[in-house]
Structure 1
Amino acid sequence: MTPAIDAAVRSLGGDFLAGAFGRSFQHWSQAAAGLRGLFTWDDLNDLVARHRLDTPRLRLFNDGTQVPPYEYLHTSVTKRSEVRQRVEPSGLHRQITAGASLVLDAVDKLHPGVQALSEALERHFRTDVQANLYASWHPTEAFGVHWDDHDTVIVQLEGAKRWNLYGATRTDPLRLDVEAPEKPDGPPLAEVVLQAGDMLYVPRGWWHAVAATQGRSLHLTCGLTPATGHHLLVWLAGQLLHSPTLRANVPIVAGPAERTAYAEQLRKEVAEALHDHVVSEFAAFLDARDPGRPAPSLPYIGDVPADPGLVLALTTARAALEGSDETVVLRAAGHEWELHTSVRPALEALVSGARLTLGELAERSGLTVEQVAALATELVSKDAAAVSQPR
């Protein structure tokens, strides 16, 4: 994690988590000033030219309507009967000139700097993060007034963007919900103009409309995957499968007395499972099973060599570390390791997001390079870490 990313993420702690988070918007002026060069127009040109960005990953919108892909994509069929699409720059430029804005989803999967920002946010908020890129050239609202089914952290990279914020018309709406939020009919609650280097937080379900002010604009929207009470109850039902009550058939054709007894027993067991620490247990479960962003360690397909110059990094930002004076427990990528406490300094550095050489890890922990390589081999074999040459 770079100092600029660290500074931006620190702004999202403290009073923000206790106050605005999940409740209201918040604007930070120049909190991400160091990130203005994180992703550039040259980066965008390179991604469009070098990657297969089929619809819907790459989309154009103009005044609330999606531009038909055939207006800027060329479709061909390979000799293996595979349909491929590539961007036609002239068509892309033509649509942008006509007022379209460009959206590129999951840029964190394509760009190392944006991936580093997303991982830092995942470590901070303990949830998966996807970063989408938005490029605008005109003061046209690409999507109109709309809401998102996840909280968002917006980083303005270049230019300025006007955000009209209307608030929520339904508390914490879901994409698959029993009721759709009603569109707001009044004026916005707030108008925020983001300048390059600013950050904005918008809660899930808040209606908003966005447009560039003057000239071109480039920003990242980092979406935070929600973990709702519905998710917790689904997980809890799985945890309760050891109970005969949960495994038994529901007494649908039984008499009233048997139905009542079943409901009372079910209520009792669920209430006991909803103890004071259930949220912490659920959060730990989510962290422990998160696969992160697995990466290969080629050419090292077996044991990691005891090369002090090799770099080791965890591939999940949500690894957790705990332990006692005798042992330390690492949970990452769906696996758990109980290790000697001597490896704690090395693991603490890795869990914080550091990329360190085997030699540096050995020095921090007092282990030999061979011992650190053995630890690396175990983590790599379980898709929890990757090794690489220094960059």
Structure 2
Amino acid sequence: MNSALSWAERLGGDEFLAQTFSRTHHVSRGPAGAFDSLLTWDTLNTLLTTHRLQPPRLRLSAGGDLVDPDRYATTVTNRRSASWHHLQPAEVHARLAEGASLVLDSVHEMHPPLAAASAALERFVRTTVQVNLYASLTPEPGFGVHWDDHAVIACQLRGAKRWQIYGPTREAPGWVDVDFPQEPRGEPLAEIVLTDGDLLYLPRGWWHCVAADTGEQSLHLTFGLTGPSTGADLLHWLVDQMRARLLLRQDAPRFASPGEQNAYVARLRTELLAELDAGLVERWAASVDVTHPGYPHTSLPHITNVPAEAEVTVTLACPRARLDTGSAASVTLRGAGGEWEFALPVRPVLQALMPGVPIALGDLADRAGLPVEAVAEIVTVLVQGQAAVITGGGR
């Protein structure tokens, strides 16, 4: 799942975006082992052993309540007065055997295959993605019936898990809202058992209960679609853009006469309506895409210039970068909050970087018909702008 195309194929491509996304749940059955390249039990054991994971990033949950970290970890303080929770494996095992579930947030920040999968999904759905991990070794549900304030894509890595899906009780609820959804009543509208290799999409606000009650231990990931997506998000952005207008920077006439206040509102309405044109949604989406900082990585030891070596590999670090090829004389890359204009012969280099997979400078040079030295200079500019990262090769 390290390309936008692979996600599109599993989810249903343009039909998924047009008919399913944010509207209803969707199940995609896959062969056992389909997600082996993402994470395994052995990988999880290594992550738990080699990282200092503080609550609530790593937590145990039972019946909807957090388990006290003192029941599975000890607090360690070193001579520099730094403290952290040190897992006690036997106690972790005991709590899981008692019915707790293990949760590890943002695991994509710790495991490169998940980082690549997360970025690939982001290219497809055009929103920020956070990957969390859930391990359940008993039939007890870890969270009870609940809803999430973002859409999720669940990937079953090992074992099986039963999803009881109730749907929404408040349409499009959010984490900032004026009301709270009521708990669902009655039977679930769908009951789905995900097995190794299966995938489930669940829209924001849909109540659900999940349990590994089929007799198999369960390991699954959720890819949470957490970026701005609502009309409220759009209007917040629009107001920020309109701060360039004097009327919006001036004090509102709280102490003026009713007539003056009405005139102010009329001017405000005129200014606002001027922005509410047919291209507004696309302008907002493009701005959100190109201003997202992406996922910059260090490129050590290349702290100044990228070496002009054909085997050095580079990866674009901003999954939602946009490439403007409309000019007859130049090409512009926008992403990670930056904008770079290059001469037209550079276009094949940038086009080859857009899928977000590692590619060697030599390959880029061949595609563009440019010397490796010129490609290294281009990549240096992007690395310095945190839009690209050196991911291998060289000395």
In which range does the TM-score fall when normalised by the shorter chain? Answer: over 0.9
Return the match for 1:252 from 251, 254, 257: 254
Return the match for 1:352 from 349, 352, 355: 355
User: 1:242: how far off?
Assistant: 2.3
Which residue is equivalent to 1:11? 10
**Cα distance, 1:280–1:32 mapped onto 2, change above 3 Å:** farther
Which residue is equivalent to 2:38? 38
Matched, 1:161 2:161: yes
Which residue is equivalent to 1:176? 176
Return the match for 2:373 from 343, 361, 370: 370
Aligned residue type for 2:44? L
Q: Deviations over 1:303-331 (max 9, x none)?
A: 11111111111111111101223211100
User: 1:150: how far off?
Assistant: 0.4
Return the match for 1:264 from 252, 266, 270: 266
Which residue is equivalent to 1:218? 219
| d(CA) in 1 for partners of 2:248, 2:200 | 44
Contact 1:8 1:31 in 2 (8 A): no
Moved more, 369-378 or 178-187: 178-187
Q: Deviations over 1:90-145 (max 9, x none)?
A: 11011111111111111100111111110011111111100001111111111000
Contact 1:106 1:131 in 2 (8 A): yes
User: 1:245: how far off?
Assistant: 1.6
Contact 1:155 1:221 in 2 (8 A): yes
User: 1:34: how far off?
Assistant: 2.5
User: 1:11: how far off?
Assistant: 2.7
**Cα distance, 1:321–1:314 mapped onto 2, change above 3 Å:** same
| d(CA) in 2 for partners of 1:16, 1:387 | 34
Which residue is equivalent to 2:233? 231
Q: Deviations over 1:323-356 (max 9, x none)?
A: 2232111001110011111111111111111211
The within-5 A match list for 1:1-391 is: 2=2, 6-12=5-11, 13-30=13-30, 34-212=34-212, 213-227=214-228, 228-323=230-325, 324-390=327-393
Count of equivalent residues: 390
Cα RMSD between the aligned structures?
1.5
SS in 2 for 1:378: helix
| d(CA) in 2 for partners of 1:146, 1:388 | 40
Contact 2:358 2:391 in 1 (8 A): no
Contact 1:309 1:359 in 2 (8 A): yes
User: 1:244: how far off?
Assistant: 2.1
Contact 1:160 1:196 in 2 (8 A): yes
| d(CA) in 2 for partners of 1:20, 1:31 | 22
SS in 1 for 2:120: helix
Contact 1:288 1:319 in 2 (8 A): yes
Moved more, 227-236 or 125-134: 227-236
| d(CA) in 2 for partners of 1:146, 1:355 | 39
| d(CA) in 1 for partners of 2:243, 2:157 | 49
| d(CA) in 1 for partners of 2:260, 2:310 | 68
Q: Deviations over 1:21-78 (max 9, x none)?
A: 1011111111785223421000000000000111111111122221111111110111
| d(CA) in 2 for partners of 1:154, 1:274 | 36
SS in 2 for 1:143: coil
**Cα distance, 1:210–1:69 mapped onto 2, change above 3 Å:** same
Moved more, 362-371 or 34-43: 34-43
| Runs of 4+ more than 3 Å apart | none
| d(CA) in 1 for partners of 2:96, 2:265 | 60
